[in-house]
Structure 1
């Protein structure tokens, strides 16, 4: 059987001014060489086109990456894509804005916190789950400590890494408690204990980071999290191809 085509949906509003948007295809190509699979087929999915999207529009994708660049043109579109990935077991990676919106999607649709919102796009939010960081992380690098045994730690092969950021918003510390005991686990923190990684342990691969692993593409080296995401997407593509041939 031939190697399956690995289709990745990139959720976000593509712009030449967003450094991450140019870095992501390079990061995925570097990861494909490291994982030993063909370079994935990438489809950019604007958040407006995803507003009200049918579930079966996204299920053919082997993986979904919610990319930086928020506030998105349509928050509802971004949340819809994240929800499909979460509910349908599609490997998911959210970075920066993707991390922020993964938190909001989970809070609204799993925890029942319908007013959970983003302070950047809605400064008057009743429940600003995502708020301004006390210190901007634009253009910074910092150490992240990972929970032993987590998807993130397994991907890195260690429990510590130094990562690059380009963001001003993150999980509002006043609402950190809403994740206590929730399936969406905090598995990465910075040196001050602020949340930098969350994941769903029971999902094939659902992981979101406030840092931007794609920015490592400028070094020419594959990033462990991008490799892990692509490996999970490749496994899904293989299962989909097998089901097609046996169905």
Structure 2
């Protein structure tokens, strides 16, 4: 089982230390071996190299070295129906990729990367979620609810940007659906239904591994890769 970790690796990033631990835990639970490769965005000019892998995880710690290459990688995974997980920055880029290439909003962007973008789809949160845990409410019937149950759960964050509520409605009626919200109704996860696995979360499920706990989101992603 080979998993591509798309992003710009740094041992200083907590998530980058947690993800290999989380993957090893899930591989052990399945009785399989897993290998992974860090694919830096600056060198990912040809997304077709992802065909060599069984799944792709677009990891936290953005802005990435190459914004366009990150979007192209997500598009490749989506169009090839490969298992995809995007956490924090990966989630933000997933939203932009879908808005641009499926919904037809080429000006969609992330204000952290382009403060003057024509459509600030991902913008600064009113209250930054840096090194905090907050309750998440899975959307009834959505992917997070199917994986984790519909009860409220606490999740870890380290982000200052998220889906701009002004534009949340553009996804209504599309395949990319809300999978979880916070207590105030802000979107915290979205999933592309009808795929083997395609999920983006503002929270960071990989961090559970650092306290020896498996997270259902990571477990489902690895199971999809194994399948």
TM-score over 0.5 for the pair? yes
1:155-207 CA distances to partner (integer Å, 9 max, x unpaired)? Answer: 21444321000000000111111111111001100001000010011111000
Structure whose residues are more often strand by fraction? 2
1:9 aligns with 2:29: no
Matches within 5 A, 1:59-78: 59-78=51-70
Runs of 5+ in structure 2 lacking a partner?
A: none
Match of 2:184 in 1: 192
The Cα of 1:147 is off from its aligned counterpart by 2.0
Residue correspondence of structure 1 range 200-211 to structure 2 within 5 A: 200-211=192-203
Which residue in 2 is equivalent to 1:29? 24
- In our comparison, the structure showing a higher alpha carbon Rg is 1
1:174 to 155, 161, 166: 166
Q: Is the 8 A contact 1:148 1:159 kept in 2?
A: no
2:6–2:39 Cα contact (<8 Å) kept: yes
Equivalent positions of 1:42-81 (< 5 A) are 42-51=36-45, 53-55=46-48, 57-81=49-73
Give the TM-score normalised by the residue count of structure 2: 0.97
Q: Equivalent residue of 2:128, what SS?
A: coil
Contact 2:60 2:90 in 1 (8 A): yes
- The alignment covers a number of residue pairs equal to 227
2:210 matched to 1:227?
A: no
TM-score normalised to structure 1 length: 0.89
CA distance in 2, matches of 1:18, 1:156: 26
In the alignment, is the contact (CA less than 8 A) between 2:47 and 2:76 conserved in 1? no
Contact 2:139–2:150 (CA under 8 A) maintained in structure 1: no
Render the CA deviation track for 1:112-169: whole Å, top value 9, x for unaligned.
Answer: 1001011001011111100000001001111111123322222214443210000000
Aligned pairs for 1:226-245 (under 5 A) are 226-235=218-227
Shift of 1:60: 2.2
Within 1, Cα distance between the matches of 2:182 and 2:164? Answer: 14
Unaligned runs of 5+ in 1: 1-5, 236-247
Which portions of structure 1, spanning 4 or more consecutive aligned residues, are displaced by more than 4 angstroms?
A: none
| Aligned-CA RMSD value | 1.1
Q: Name the structure 2 match of 1:106.
A: 98
1:54 positional shift: 4.4
